[in-house]
Amino acid sequence: MKPVLLLSNGHGEDLSGALVASQLIQMGIAVEALPLVGHGASYRQLGIPVLGRTRNCSTGGLGYTSLAGRIAELLEGQMLYVLSRLLLLRRRRRHYGLVLAVGDLLAVLGGWFSGLPTAVYLVAYSSHYEGRLRLPWPCGWLLGRPGIRAIWSRDELSAADLSGQLGRSASFLGNPFLDAVSSHETPPAGAGDPELLLVPGSRLPEAARNLALMLELLAQLPGKLPVEWPGGRRLRLRAALVPGLERACIAQLAAPLGWKLEGEDRLVRGPLELELSWGGFGQLLPRAQLVLCSAGTAAEQAVGLAIPVLQLPGQGPQFTPGFAEAQRRLLGAGVFCAPDPASAAELAYQLLEQQLDPIRGPALRQQLATIGQERIGRPGGSQAMAGAIMNLLAASAR
């Protein structure tokens, strides 16, 4: 069989594409990747070949969220870059048997433009935003083309909605990004110290600005937080950081806020101690009782694991107040937000205290599990999509 090409337009989309690609490789199918935003780090980490010369842009592919972002992308030549990537796919189309388009309209457009049989994982859109999907033009028309062989949504509600709107079947097979964290063991409730995990995002310099906001919030936590919790446990503060957020940068942004970098991986401010970790998000998330988050996919993964998310919106380009509000509509009551750092600190304490309560804790975890099942689904999405792709390849070969 010819190789499968993974076409994705976003960092979270790259992760899902890479996880599906890994499953295809295990099934004996060759794969290559064409990321439209950034360098495709998720593909490269799994050893999946990436086509052509890649580049980053300052908006992280999110220029459409603001006028300033659109102008920045024009000045940086992002539109011409994406067009060149799609032309590369068009020139190489005879090399592939199928395209998996992961993302939004741009990924769908790329799959159609390739002229190849295409499966679409429409991860960027959900009926949970407004109760009914409002696909941007010409996404609906493209999804109705014969070359689009399968459409997979990000939740059951969207699958039913898409099927009705398009007059063709759309399915929900799960969300591959959940597989990246569900394979790690989750400690039993009440085992070990309670953990608060900071996730400032993956895009720089935005992630650095978000981390500074989080350090401000931590400084306003109630004074009793560092003291022992029931059972002699203490709250553990941890941060999952991208490799590009270097120690020198962290020390510089933390110092004016009263934090000091000690050793290689600790920030200290009075009785507060924040453990820094680079690249260990998949191991850290399942252990957390609360995630302080300024990110997209990470919040979705937390909700999928029934872990409450406390948002901290920043200046963007991604995690703005508008993005955070849309995320709450997408992910439901498992996501919390407060108007200012002081209120957010108090809410963080309340959420942690509730989970440690022997009566309220189990009730909250059950509620969060129900929300996760409804909004994210169960693990196994990458294997399910890989299996469906195998069926499409077999059908094309007949």
Whether the per-residue pLDDT at 319 is higher than 80: the answer is: yes
pLDDT value for 92 = 93
pLDDT of residue 300: 97
- Identical fold, 4-179+379-397 and 184-375: yes
Looking at domain 4-179+379-397, its CATH architecture is 3-Layer(aba) Sandwich (3.40)
pLDDT band, very low/low/confident/very high, at 396 (cuts 50, 70, 90): confident
Question: At what angle are helices 297-304 and 360-375 packed, to 10 degrees?
Answer: 120
Predicted confidence (pLDDT) at residue 219 exceeds the cutoff of 60: yes
Q: Looking at residue 184, what is its pLDDT?
A: 65
What is the separation, in whole angstroms, between the first and last Cα of the chain?
A: 12
Quick one: which of 139, 123, 119, 158 has its CA closest to 16?
123
Contacts of 384 (CB under 8 A, 6+ apart): 173, 174
Q: What angle do CA 298, 304, 306 make, to 5 degrees?
A: 105
Q: Which residue has the higher pLDDT, 186 or 347?
A: 347
Confidence band, pLDDT 50/70/90 cuts, at residue 70: very low
Residue 7's pLDDT band, with cuts at 50, 70 and 90, is: very high
Spatial separation of the C-alpha atoms in residues 300 and 291, rounded to whole Å: 11
Burial class (CB in 10 A: 0-12, 13-18, 19+), 296: buried
Query: pTM higher than 0.85 for the full model?
Result: yes
Is residue 69's pLDDT more than 50?
no
List, as one string, the DSSP characters of 156-204: HHHHHHHHHHHTS--EE---GGGHHHHTSPPPPTT-S--EEEEE--SST
The pLDDT tens digits of the residues spanning 374-387 come to 999 999 999 999 99
User: Residue 233 above 80 pLDDT?
Assistant: no
99-152 pLDDT, tens per residue?
999 999 999 999 999 999 999 999 999 999 999 999 999 999 999 999 999 999
Which parts of the chain fold into alpha helices (H)? 11-26, 41-45, 67-76, 78-91, 105-114, 139-143, 156-166, 179-182, 206-219, 247-254, 281-284, 297-304, 321-331, 341-356, 360-375, 381-397
CA distances from 143 to 112, 136, 322, 381, 394 (A): 9, 12, 28, 21, 22
Strands 195-199 and 171-172, bridge-based pairing: unpaired
Pairwise pLDDT comparison (200 vs 66), residue with the higher score: 200
> What mean pLDDT, rounded, does the chain reach?
89
For residue 136, is the peptide bond before it cis, meaning its omega torsion is within 30 degrees of 0? Answer: no
Q: Is a pLDDT exceeding 70 seen at residue 66?
A: no
Break the chain into its structural domains and give their ranges. Answer: 4-179+379-397, 184-375
Q: What CATH number was assigned to the domain covering residues 184-375?
A: 3.40.50.2000
pLDDT band at 229 (very low <50, low <70, confident <90, very high): low
Decide: residue 253, CB within 10 A, 0-12 exposed, 13-18 middle, 19+ buried. middle
Cα torsion at 343, 347, 350, 355 (round to 10°)? -170
Average pLDDT estimate for 310-330: 90
| pLDDT value of residue 310 | 97
Q: What pLDDT does residue 223 have? A: 66
Q: Phi, psi (5° rounding) for residue 339?
A: -75, -20
The more confidently predicted of residues 57 and 82 is 82
Q: Place 273 in a pLDDT band, splitting at 50, 70 and 90.
A: very high
For residue 337, the model assigns a pLDDT of 93
Residue 304 above 70 pLDDT? Answer: yes
Q: Would you list the DSSP string of 49-107?
A: -B-S--B--TTTT-GGGSHHHHHHHHHHTHHHHHHHHHHHHHHTGGG-SEEEEESSHHH
pLDDT digits (tens, 9 = 90+) for 234-267: 889 999 999 889 999 999 999 999 999 999 899 9
Residue 259 CA to residue 382 CA, distance in Å, equals 41
